[in-house]
Structure formats: structure tokens, C-alpha cells
Structure 1
Amino acid sequence: MATIKRTAARYGQFGGFSPYGNMTVLTYALATNAIGAVIDSDSVAAIAAGDVIDLGELPQGMRLDDAQIIVSTGMSASITGKLGFKYSDGTDHSDVPEDDAYFLNAGDLATAGRIRAAGSKLLTLPKSARLILTIAGAANAKVSDLNVVVTGELKGPR
């Protein structure tokens, strides 16, 4: 029986300083106050159904592998959310279109627990993007505490 070794096993690795790759974990905190407004944001209004919360930047060249939402203290009853991305420059990309539900669609944000991504595609961002959480179901009217964790490989600009 032959032993076959792939010669391009590290193809596309950015940097090359570590034999273990360029795995990155980005964490985004989302907390709301007693009236349901996002703390440390540009709004004092409570989160409403249909609101899009910009959680922060996803860097250009990042391959999006996985995401999870850790709900420590849930939002108001029946609130759900979609987790995805849109491009920072406001212009969609034909090869990798924006997707507001890339990671998750209709995740329960009212119940404490861990929500894992449900997507079935793997993509690399051709330009910087914003991680967005789109709220559905109801308005938030209480204190809540969530953390969004995105994992992926930094492959660098192409």
C-alpha cells in the first residue's frame, strides 16, 4: 500500500509564520440596558423587530468557518435573529454576495444557551465586511447579554 502525501496542503496560508495556520477567533459583545437599548451604541432606543445591529468588522481575506451566539441573559420573549454580513463599502460583490443570514436564520435570542451556525457554505471575504444581527419577532424591553464568536482563517487580501 502506498503513502500519498499532498504537496499543496498549506496552499493559501497567509503569513507563513506558523505551521499551525492562521485561525482567528473574533468576539463581539452585545448587551442591552433595562429598556432594551444596545449599550455602547449610537442609539438610545430599544431594539425593535426589523432592526439591524452592526456588531463590528470582519476583515478582508477572512475565510468564515463558523459562528456561535452565546446567550448569557436572553432578550424579551419571542425575539429571534439572523446573523450574517454586509460589505463595509456598501457595495455588494458578485462572487461572494452579501448574506444577512450566512451563519444563522431565526436563532432564539430570548433563551439562555449557545446557538451554533447552521450555514452550509464556506467562503472567503473579498473585502472587509460588517457582522450584522437582524432582529425579528418582537421588541426588546429588558437587560440582555450576548456574545457572538466568529472563527475563521485569515488568508490575507487577494
Structure 2
Amino acid sequence: MATIKKLGLGLQQFGGFTPYGNLTTLRAVLLTAADGGAVNADSATPLGVGDVVVLDKLPEGLVLEDAQVIVSTAMTAAVTGSLGFIYADGVDSADVPQDAAYFGAGLALNATGRLRAATAKAPVKLPKPALLVLTIAGAANAKASRLDVIVHGERTGPK
């Protein structure tokens, strides 16, 4: 199982925060080529079951509130995915455990539509920088597709 990182992580993020918070929308686009591999990533290998695609950076102190995935060009039949976060340093947190399915699991990436966060998990404040990840499930992707992943949260700064 491979980990594929999109190039240019964090380039579209707002450049700061204030002590009283800042509502932030982060948007990451995942395009795949005709063979199913991620475009503009460190690997062009077609996305397979279990692959983790790092979509963007999530800053320390971000309170995760909501997310949606806009599937404008669907992936191959039977492709599903989980959307969540893992810590950038690879070390879990006892206070806020990383959760690769925080926003949802079994998201149908094989049909066009808007998919909202599908869990009832309480908002969490990230204690350190994290990565927004999409984990591929169901089937390998073998076609061109487009997903826009939008995360809403409040930047509250470090502890």
C-alpha cells in the first residue's frame, strides 16, 4: 500500500490567525489521469485499495467543524474512500487521536455528487499540524476523475 502526496501542499492556505479565532475554508483538488493515478503528485501509479492520498496540510490549532467532497468526475465503479486526518509528524496524540475516517468512511467516489461529513463526531482542535487524507477503498481507480475536498474550521492558534 502506497502513500501518495500531492505537490504544493499548503499553498492555498490563509497566512495567519488571530487569538480569537478565524473561520477558514481549505480546499484541495484531487485529479486523476486516464490510468487512475493522481495528477501533480509524487507518484503517478494508479490509486489502489488502501492507498492514502495526502490532500493538504491542516494547521495546529484548527478546530475541525465540517467537510464535503464534491465528485464532479467520478472514479471507477466501486471506488469508495475515507476522509480524515493523520499527524504530520507520524506520532499520535492521546488527547486528540488521529482519525483517517474523521469526516466519513465509505464515501461513494464512484458517482457524481456532493458528499457531506457523514459522522456525528464532535469538533476537535488539532494539537499539532496534521495532514488531510483520503484513503481509497472498494476498488482501484482506473480512470480520470476530479474530487474537490472542502474542510471548514476555525483557526484558534496553538494551545
What does 1:97-108 align with in structure 2 at a 5 Å threshold? 97-108=97-108
Q: Which residue does the alignment assign to 1:137? A: 138
SS of 1:55's equivalent in the other structure is strand
Equivalent residue of 2:101, what SS?
strand
Q: Residue 15 in 1 paired to residue 23 in 2?
A: no
RMSD: 1.2
Bigger-Rg structure (1/2): 1
Q: Structure 1, residues 56-85: CA drift from partner, whole Å, max 9, x if none?
A: 100000000000000000000010000010
Cα distance, 1:129 vs structure 2: 0.1
For 2:14, the equivalent position in structure 1 comes to: none
Tell me the TM-score normalised to structure 2 length: 0.87
Q: In structure 1, the residue corresponding to 2:49 is in which secondary structure? A: coil
One-letter amino acid of the structure 1 residue matched with residue 144 of structure 2: V
1-structure distance, mates of 2:67, 2:18: 23
The answer on whether the counterparts of 2:19 and 2:156 sit within 8 Å (CA) in structure 1 is no
Partner of 2:43: 43
TM-score, length basis structure 1: 0.87
Deviation, 1:44, is 1.6
The corresponding residue for 1:5 is: none
Match of 2:153 in 1: 152
**What is the 5 A alignment of 1:2-151?**
15=18, 22-120=22-120, 121-151=122-152
Cα distance, 1:119 vs structure 2 = 2.1
What 5-or-longer segments of structure 2 have no aligned partner? 1-16
Shift of residue 16, structure 1, vs aligned partner: 5.5
CA distance in 1, matches of 2:53, 2:44: 13
| 2:48 match: secondary structure | coil
Same amino acid, percent of matched pairs? 51
